[in-house]
Amino acid sequence: MTKAAPIRWLEAGLFASRWLMAPFYIGLVVALGALLWVFFHELWEELSHLPAMKPDDAILMALSLIDLSLAANLVLIVIYSGYENFVSRIDAAAEEDRPVWMGTVDFSGLKMKLIASIIAISAIALLKAFMKIDEGNLDTTQIQWMVIMQLTFVVSGLLLAAMDYLNARSGGH
């Protein structure tokens, strides 16, 4: 039995609506460019202080750059896997330098990569705050909230991983 024409049109329209997500991914590419700009601005600013830099300053500079790099990696993962999971496959199979994970990260994997990146970014921010404690510009309330947020992210990540594990064991979707 074939479907009636209005139902076919509705389903075709619903299926085509996935392309409404494409502008979101284009916006994330712009955000990636902004992160690149900030990365080089931060690098330039820090390198201008290189002759007077102390070891702690060099570590803080590296942590800031790592933080930006992790955020950029996260945006790139969301762009690739989100586009491929929800819009269309990216036809880059012939590319030699195609990332190995591209096309293999499902929504569950994307969630785990997202929370892991957030935990790493939060941990770097917390480490930077601890390194600045001697300077006296952070109050204990701010540090406490940063630790609470870090623990919240870690517990959230563990709960997401447990839910994915239980879902995989039960064969659910």
Q: pLDDT tier at 43 (50, 70, 90 boundaries)?
A: very high
The pLDDT of residue 168 is above 60 = yes
Banded model confidence at residue 24, pLDDT cuts 50, 70, 90: very high
What's the pLDDT band for 102 if we cut at 50, 70, 90? low
> Are the C-beta atoms of 146 and 99 separated by less than 8 Å?
no
Q: Total domain count for the chain?
A: 1
What does the pLDDT read at residue 169? 81
Q: Which two tokens stand for residue 122?
A: 């939060």
DSSP per residue, 113-156: HHHHHHHHHHHHHHHHHHHTGGGT-S-HHHHHHHHHHHHHHHHH
- How many helices (H) and strands (E) would you count in the chain? 5, 0
Q: How far apart are CA 154 and CA 119, in angstroms?
A: 6
Host domain of residue 79: 5-170
